[in-house]
Chains A and B, each alone.
Chain A
Amino acid sequence: MKAKKVILYIMLLSFIGAVGAWYYGFVYSKNNHRDVQKETAIQVSANELNTAFVNDENAANTTYLDKAVEVHGTVSEVTTNQDGFPIVSLSTDDMFATIDCTLKEQKTVEVGSIVTIKGICIGYTSNVKIKDAYLK
């Protein structure tokens, strides 16, 4: 009788576990994406961020890659990506390098204005790139 109870409990627990795993993997993860707005971000100027990647890309990746960052700087260009979202480029002291931030929202940004943009740093090509960004 006791053994039966134990088996029943184990079956129940593993069933709950399986449902939990399924829920986390397929339902929760689909509806709950990383929200950078809730995260504490590393504050950095556009120029500092560019300099960090130019000087030592590996070290800069360790510090900034996949982290929430808040970049402040002057808007040098606003373009649109192929999905219709704005990309705000911030100027740096290097005239050929900008910090390119893909916004997650439709927003009008004036060229020449000074802004702070919060997003996730995805790395460096010839420019530092920020995705899922918001204007602060």
Chain B
Amino acid sequence: MKKLLAALFAIALFASNDVSAQKIYSTKTGQIKFFSSTPAEDIEAVNNEVDSKLSSTGQMQFTVLIKGFRFPNSLMQEHFNDDYMESAKFPRGDFKGTLSGMKEADFKKEGTYKVTATGNLTMRGISKAVSVPGTIEVKKGTIIVKAVFKVALKDFNITGSEIGKAIAKDIEITVNCQYPS
């Protein structure tokens, strides 16, 4: 009887462990866009090589290579890398943070959840605490993270004569990352 109880207890423990086992979703091909809009011109750049990891317990991480942004205009791409982001000196940007608004069990239930990611955004060697609203969609086991937020260039010591003229002071960042199941 004691043995049976012990066995049942072990099974129960094992089962509950299985339920709470965190799952890690990852992609090497997430997408991040940035958009600057001024009366003078609109500038958009896309990066399709974003590394990202997301755990069902709510940890998230994004790493983006600055040289990976593609501009429609090659001269703008050059200025972006050399004058504004100094990407030879600071080749990476990243975000590490935690997620709220979604329970671990929700990752197994289809639907779209409103979430907030809170953490540190690092660019040009400068870290800044940010809180970003977004959505997480669970669809056939695939996770899709979407967020749109603004970043003030002055927060990251990004300066230049065109900021406030042809380049907006606040840049809009759009995140769209799909994590295969």
Within the complex, which residue of A29, A80, A87 is in contact with B76, where a contact is CB–CB below 8 Å? A29
B79-116 interface bits toward A, Cβ cutoff 8 Å, 1 = contact, 0 = none? 00100000110011000000000000000000000000
B76 near A129 with CB under 8 A, answer no
Q: CA A100 – CA B30 in complex, angstroms?
A: 13
* Residues 18-36 of chain A, each 1 if its beta carbon lies under 8 Å from chain B, else 0: 0000001110011011100
A26-B73 CB under 8 A given contacts A65-B91, A100-B49: yes
Interface size grouping (class) on chain A? 20 to 34
Q: Separation in Å of the A132 CB from the closest CB of chain B?
A: 8
A106 within 8 Å of B (CB atoms): no
Q: Number of B interface residues, CB 8 Å?
A: 26
Report which of A26, A32, A61, A122 forms a contact with B49, defined as CB distance below 8 A.
Answer: A122
A131 touches B49 (CB 8 A): yes
- A33: chain B residues at CB < 8 Å are 74
B28 engages A127 (CB within 8 Å): yes
- In angstroms, Cα B170 to Cα A107, docked, is 39
Nearest CB in chain A to that of B94: its residue: A125
30 A-B interface contacts by CB (under 8 A): A24-B75, A25-B73, A25-B75, A26-B73, A29-B73, A29-B74, A30-B72, A33-B74, A61-B91, A65-B67, A65-B87, A65-B88, A66-B67, A66-B81, A66-B87, A81-B48, A81-B49, A82-B29, A82-B178, A83-B31, A100-B49, A120-B67, A123-B65, A123-B66, A123-B91, A124-B65, A125-B65, A125-B92, A131-B68, A131-B70
Interface residues of B (CB under 8 A from A): 28-31, 46, 48-49, 51, 63, 65-68, 70, 72-76, 81, 87-88, 91-92, 176, 178
